[in-house]
Amino acid sequence: MAINPAEAPKGRMMINPPAVEPTDSGWYLTSGTDLPLVPQRGETRCDVLVIGAGWMGLHAARRYGELAPDNSVVLVDAGRIGNNASGRCMGFAIDLAHNPRKKDFIEDIQGNKDELYTNLDGNAYLRSAVEELGVDCDWDPQGKYHSAATDHGVADLVAFSKALDAMGQGYRWIEKDEMQAMTGSSHYIRALHHPGTILIQPAKYLKNLARVLPRNVTVHENTVVSTARFGTDGHVFETASGVIRAKQVILCASGYLTRFGIFRQTAIPLHTFASMTRELTPAELARAGAHEAFGLIPANSFGTTVRRAQNRLFLRNVYSYAPDFTITRQDVERAREQQMVAFRRRWPDLAGMGFETSWSGLLTLARNGGMVFGELAANVYGAAFCNGTGVSRGAAFGKAVAELALGRTSPVIDILRRKTPPSRAYPEPITGAGVRLVTARRFRQAGKEV
């Protein structure tokens, strides 16, 4: 995908900094020692600058560094690695997402095959970080349980199973008794186990990968890129205390990519929220079922995602539209109340303990579900907008965009280049009103799946 040259950004552009999340995530707070903090200072010259150190950016930097060991790679992030949206996620590295909102999900066999191929490539790259580079992240390849608490949830799962049948994918139905034994909760009436998804501690993975990036990759956290000037023979970026001159740039800044003058007015920033309990006592753990760890994806996408990990429970739900990307502590508090409702529904005898911490995180959507991948202008590459499933995709997109920047080809690059780019959002207040209406309605309809 190359953008219309007329749209290519020209001149020195001011870039608004990304919003700061009001609280740290539970994953980040339990992810061990901080990385050494080295913000960028003075003048830096590099072959490639990667902006954004989430799933996309870290894997772009890793791949570029591996394939071009004589080139210098600089990776910058406005915040701390692991405390961005990537580290705030629920840690499902999903091979095949269940997308009941996509009208042709069951019929779109080729689309699903492409998605699976891309995500498996991403998961293989994640796995190689664990197995070859020793990245500790509580790697757990147990798959995911699509879990239903209502009859309409079960109907959604039956529809999903038809798509899996059409793709020749194996799965197993789990009935209520088995779910209760596994989770200690009588809330779920049926579930579908689909193998292939890997559960990880996301902040741990990201921080530990940053520690073992190739030697030609230099990482600068707390480094906001505040201006950009794109040129045909190199680009110049200013930070708070310096300047970076790069021959190529790879933009992995999620929705903030639009602030670089690219795909303007396409990002629809949604936030979703999660909470984590304190560590459960042995007696409490016994009431949370027989499995030490599990990951439950709600049958309805507006339902509650659950993980048991690190002897704690993690619950995620609620979507909130934030046109300026900004979330307040009050927004996190309101979402926490919904997570308490979900906690009480599932484990009424444990919910009294409440949550130790709650947080929000950014998802970037486009009106048409489009994603950014490819050469966006001369020597400007980008990968962004992974909707709700950015772990496996992020690893695959990041790896592929670095290969593309180095002139390589691959089947994943071919697939990603065919993807529809994001379309412009309707102007405000239409987008805001529409997103708020739909999210409120779908949340209500999800009922006890929340």
Ligand X SMILES: Cc1cc2nc3c(=O)[nH]c(=O)nc-3n(C[C@H](O)[C@H](O)[C@H](O)COP(=O)(O)OP(=O)(O)OC[C@H]3O[C@@H](n4cnc5c(N)ncnc54)[C@H](O)[C@@H]3O)c2cc1C
How far from chain centre, in Å, is Cα 216?
Answer: 26
244 is a site residue for ligand X (CB under 6 A): no
Say how far apart CA 262 and CA 228 lie, in whole Å.
12
Rg (CA), the chain: 21
Longest dimension (CA), the chain: 64
Q: Is the previous residue joined to 39 through a cis bond, with omega within 30 degrees of 0? A: no
Of 38-46, 76-84, 137-145, 331-339: span binding ligand X (CB under 6 A): 76-84
Window 313 to 342, contacts with ligand X (CB under 6 A): 316
306 is a site residue for ligand X (CB under 6 A): no
122 is a site residue for ligand X (CB under 6 A): no
Beta carbon nearer to ligand X, 73 or 224: 224
Q: Tell me the torsion sign for CA atoms 348, 350, 351, 352.
A: positive
Residue 305's SS3 state is strand
In the list 224, 246, 401, 450, the residue contacting ligand X (rule: CB under 6 A) is 224
DSSP assignment string, 351-410: GGG--SEEEEEEEEE-TT---EEEEEETTEEEEE--TT--HHHHHHHHHHHHHHHTT---
Residues in the chain: 450
In the list 85, 149, 246, 350, the residue contacting ligand X (rule: CB under 6 A) is 85
Window 26 to 65, contacts with ligand X (CB under 6 A): 51-57
Beta carbon nearer to ligand X, 89 or 189: 89
86 is a site residue for ligand X (CB under 6 A): yes
Window 358 to 377, contacts with ligand X (CB under 6 A): 361-363
Q: HSE of 286 in the Cβ direction (CA atoms, 13 Å)? A: 3
Beta carbon nearer to ligand X, 189 or 210: 210
Of 10-18, 38-46, 178-186, 347-355: span binding ligand X (CB under 6 A): 10-18
Contact characters 267-286, ligand X, x per CB under 6 A = -----x-x------------
Which parts of 183-304 are beta strand (E)?
A: 190-194, 198-199, 217-220, 227-229, 235-239, 242-251, 268-276, 294-298
91 is a site residue for ligand X (CB under 6 A): yes
Minimum gap (Å) between residue 397 Cβ and ligand X: 8
Minimum gap (Å) between residue 57 Cβ and ligand X: 6
Q: How far is CA 241 from CA 216, 222, 237, 244, 414, in A?
A: 22, 11, 11, 10, 39
201 is a site residue for ligand X (CB under 6 A): no
Number of residues that bind ligand X (CB under 6 A): 42
Nearest to 265 by CA among 383, 421, 425, 387: 425
77 is a site residue for ligand X (CB under 6 A): yes
379 is a site residue for ligand X (CB under 6 A): no
Contact characters 390-429, ligand X, x per CB under 6 A = xx--x-----------------------------------
388 is a site residue for ligand X (CB under 6 A): yes
Which helix H or strand E contains 50, and what residues bound it? strand 42-51
Contacts of 221 (CB under 8 A, 6+ apart): 35, 37, 38, 39, 53, 76, 77, 79, 80, 81
Beta carbon nearer to ligand X, 3 or 76: 76
Contact positions vs ligand X (CB under 6 A) = 15, 17-18, 51-57, 76-79, 84-86, 88-92, 94, 224-225, 252-254, 256, 272, 274, 316, 361-363, 384, 386, 388-391, 394
